[in-house]
Amino acid sequence: MSANHTMRSSEPRSSERVTTPSRSARSLTSRSRRTTPRVEASSPRSRLAHVTRRVPRVTSLLWLLAACEPSLRDLTWRYDARALDEPTSLEARIREGGCDGAVVFEDRFAIGATGALPDRLRKGTYGFELLARDADCAVIGRGCVELALPTDDPELVVVLSPSTGPACDGVCTDGLCVPSAPDGGPNDAGPNDAGPNDGGVSDDAGCTGCPCDDCDAPGDRCESGICIPAIPATDVEVGARHTCALAGERLYCWGQSGLFETGRYLDPATYAAPSAISGRWSALEIGSRSVCAKRVGVGGEEIVCWGSNNRDQLGLGDEAGENVGTTVQPADLAFDQITLGLEHGLAILDGALYGWGTNSHFQLSNLIVRSTTISDPTAMTLDGITGPFAQVSAMQWSSFVRHEDGRAWGFGWSAEGENGSGRSSGSFETPGALPGDDWIELQAGMRHACGRTGDGSVFCWGHGEMTASANHDCDDMRGALGDGTGSSTMPSSPIAGVTASREGFRLSAWCGSCVIDDDDALHCFGANTYGELGVGDREPRLRPARVEGAWTDIALGERHACAIRRGGALYCWGSNADGRLGHPTAADAGFDESLVPRRVVLPE
């Protein structure tokens, strides 16, 4: 299930302000690389004179700010692309609030073309971002500068550094990526665009004055094109047939509840609507048919778990029973992070590893007798591996652990190479090291796994084709690896067109895979029998497919998915059996599936 939702830190991409003398960058981990290039505070004209006219890598875009006050006018935006190899086109974005803010302007230009900015800019801080593409429209560089307006600086320089990024989301013509579905203006996205609807920015991208789409529930408000619900979701988790979401300190669950998955028992044929669970909550983790969450009490925080407990996978002790409602773990341990597999659980506290449940395939530790069951959270040791650990992720019968220095290991079941160590044929008594030492995120799926490295590269490995099996819930996994191939033990190259370098939960995997990139774009790939990819049909995707919208969180289940848009609006799609999408089923005058994201409104 999801690997580090429980104590997530959504620290933004590093950036630097040209108006601040001291320049500091926040790193993702001790080994992560910068994701925003260094910015020069003034134009280094004397050092740029050698650039040829054939490839004007250092030039002025000649875009003048046309804001209301004269003091905001006449600012020249320049770029330095000397570190790149033959850029053909540029994509320019202006972000309100800085380099991590909402996009208020977007346009695409051939090298050397010019245009005028719209009159949307007011006083405040903005991020001026450029993305460079080559003749095939592949991203080869990016850079961003933060600048407070008004300013006395006559110009700013964006230094483009080599980078990868999202694939062209439209038509590639002579290196210019033209969107296939702009926002409706007659001059959108052209090489000399200065029309009234500049940029083709979709409503959910946050443009100033835009209307909000799907924003008519009671208490909704629309701000700069972003819908903000009365109760915004902050975290969503998905199990096999149930869903839970955090909204501040409120916790909601819905879907199948025959095993107490929603914290209460209902007949399996009964639809469980979204309902709040009593208490104040700060963190959440879902297993296949179980839940653990961190509850805030007078004496501090405690771990509360409920759902299926047939193999002691909730860590509630010997007397808990097979299916339980909300019950406090007996150990006085407020874990930093928890992950739940099918029949086991793992956690981290102060860099130390803890585990409970079954060790049927050495998914807890190779130093514990196989098939041993542990009912209480217990300190774990792994042969030849010591902490401090930064993250754990579990699913089915396999587990992953990531060291604070960026190294990572997989252990447990690996019949199809899902533990990433290059081995496949069953259970393994010794953990296998993943290649490299720059891992910042790991996510175990049902029969595969995915991970991110410090430069934002995304890798997936394990099973990626259709194979009927009585031992797994995922028979159809075509495309789950996102590289257009079938099974593999460990990929040699990252998934093309996706860069996800920001810290925080960005990956999700079950029978398929989803990832949110650095531009808050959601890409999903793999099996799509029930519309669980959210792209409007049931065809599998062998490579990443874009889900419409701008997103901050994603969680995949066995046959459905849920995600949170900018602003906190919650959406789900795929199979609605048991009401897992937060809506009644067809038997209750609702629907049985949705091929596109469907809004879920959390009740007061």
The yes-or-no verdict on residue 440 having pLDDT over 80 is yes
Q: Strands across the sheet with 344-349, in order?
A: 337-340, 344-349, 352-358, 373-379
Q: Which residue has the tokens 């799509």?
A: 528
The yes-or-no verdict on residue 188 having pLDDT over 70 is no
CA 235 to chain centre: 11
pLDDT class of 392 with cuts at 50, 70, 90: very high
- Give the mean model confidence (pLDDT) for residues 584-604: 91
Collapse the DSSP code of 229 into the 3-class scheme (helix H, G, I; strand E, B; otherwise coil) and give the result. coil
- Give the mean model confidence (pLDDT) for residues 90-109: 77
pLDDT class of 462 with cuts at 50, 70, 90: confident
Strand ranges, E, within 14-73: 58-60
Q: In the numeric block, which tokens belong to residue 586?
A: 């067809």
Q: Phi-psi category of 225—alpha, beta or left, where left has phi over 0 and alpha has psi -120 to 50? A: left
Terminal C-alpha separation, the chain: 28
Q: Which residue has the higher pLDDT, 153 or 74?
A: 153
Q: Sketch out the chain's domains with CATH numbers.
A: 45-201 (no CATH), 235-600 (2.130.10.30)
- Give the mean model confidence (pLDDT) for residues 444-451: 89
- Of 182-186, 399-403, 575-579, least confident by mean pLDDT is 182-186
| Nearest C-alpha neighbor of 246 from the set 257, 256, 231, 226 | 231
Cα 411 to Cα 359: distance, rounded to the nearest angstrom: 11
The yes-or-no verdict on residue 189 having pLDDT over 70 is no
**Percentage of the chain surpassing pLDDT 90?**
41
Contacts of residue 52, defined as CB under 8 A and 6 or more positions apart, other chains included, come to none
pLDDT of residue 59: 53
Ramachandran angles phi, psi of 46, nearest 5° = -65, -25
Q: What angle do CA 144, 147, 150 make, to 5 degrees?
A: 150
The yes-or-no verdict on residue 185 having pLDDT over 60 is no
CA-based max dimension of the chain = 78
pLDDT of residue 300: 84
pLDDT of residue 266: 78
- Give the mean model confidence (pLDDT) for residues 51-73: 40
The yes-or-no verdict on residue 569 having pLDDT over 90 is yes
Collapse the DSSP code of 587 into the 3-class scheme (helix H, G, I; strand E, B; otherwise coil) and give the result. helix
The yes-or-no verdict on residue 397 having pLDDT over 80 is yes
pLDDT class of 510 with cuts at 50, 70, 90: confident
pLDDT class of 505 with cuts at 50, 70, 90: low
Cα 192 to Cα 115: distance, rounded to the nearest angstrom: 5
pLDDT class of 179 with cuts at 50, 70, 90: low
Cα 402 to Cα 394: distance, rounded to the nearest angstrom: 12
Contacts of residue 373, defined as CB under 8 A and 6 or more positions apart, other chains included, come to 311, 312, 357, 358, 359
Contact between residue 542 and residue 479 where contact means Cβ atoms under 8 Å apart: yes
- Give the mean model confidence (pLDDT) for residues 409-414: 88
Q: Which residue has the tokens 């007061």?
A: 604
pLDDT of residue 38: 27
Overall size of the chain counted in residues = 604
pLDDT of residue 265: 82
The yes-or-no verdict on residue 454 having pLDDT over 70 is yes
Contact between residue 151 and residue 75 where contact means Cβ atoms under 8 Å apart: yes
Collapse the DSSP code of 270 into the 3-class scheme (helix H, G, I; strand E, B; otherwise coil) and give the result. coil
pLDDT of residue 299: 79
Q: Which residue has the higher pLDDT, 127 or 23?
A: 127
CA 480 to chain centre: 16
Digit-coded pLDDT (tens) for 479-494: 889 988 766 666 678 9
Q: In the numeric block, which tokens belong to residue 164?
A: 């990868």
pLDDT of residue 344: 94
pLDDT of residue 418: 78
pLDDT of residue 35: 28
Mean pLDDT over each residue of the chain, to the nearest integer = 77
Q: Which residue has the higher pLDDT, 598 or 213?
A: 598
Give CA separation, 568 vs 14, 496, 516, 562, in Å.
23, 29, 15, 12
- Give the mean model confidence (pLDDT) for residues 542-567: 94
pLDDT of residue 470: 45
Contacts of residue 258, defined as CB under 8 A and 6 or more positions apart, other chains included, come to 265, 266, 267, 268
The residue type at 438:
D
- Give the mean model confidence (pLDDT) for residues 509-535: 93
- Of 171-175, 351-355, 589-593, least confident by mean pLDDT is 171-175
Q: Which residue has the higher pLDDT, 39 or 137?
A: 137
Q: Which residue has the higher pLDDT, 464 or 105?
A: 464
Q: Which residue has the higher pLDDT, 33 or 354?
A: 354
The yes-or-no verdict on residue 200 having pLDDT over 60 is no
pLDDT of residue 422: 67
pLDDT of residue 147: 87
The yes-or-no verdict on residue 211 having pLDDT over 90 is no
- Of 91-105, 281-295, 561-575, least confident by mean pLDDT is 91-105
- Give the mean model confidence (pLDDT) for residues 54-68: 42
Cα 21 to Cα 17: distance, rounded to the nearest angstrom: 8
Digit-coded pLDDT (tens) for 118-167: 544 667 788 888 888 888 888 899 999 988 888 877 778 889 899 877 77
Highest mean pLDDT among 123-127, 300-304, 572-576: 572-576
pLDDT of residue 215: 93
Q: Strands across the sheet with 250-255, in order?
A: 235-238, 242-247, 250-255, 275-276
Cα 590 to Cα 572: distance, rounded to the nearest angstrom: 14
pLDDT of residue 8: 38
Q: Which residue has the higher pLDDT, 32 or 561?
A: 561
Cα-Cα-Cα-Cα dihedral sign, residues 204, 103, 86, 177: positive
Q: How many CB atoms lie within 10 A of CB 248?
A: 14
Contact between residue 471 and residue 63 where contact means Cβ atoms under 8 Å apart: no
pLDDT of residue 44: 26
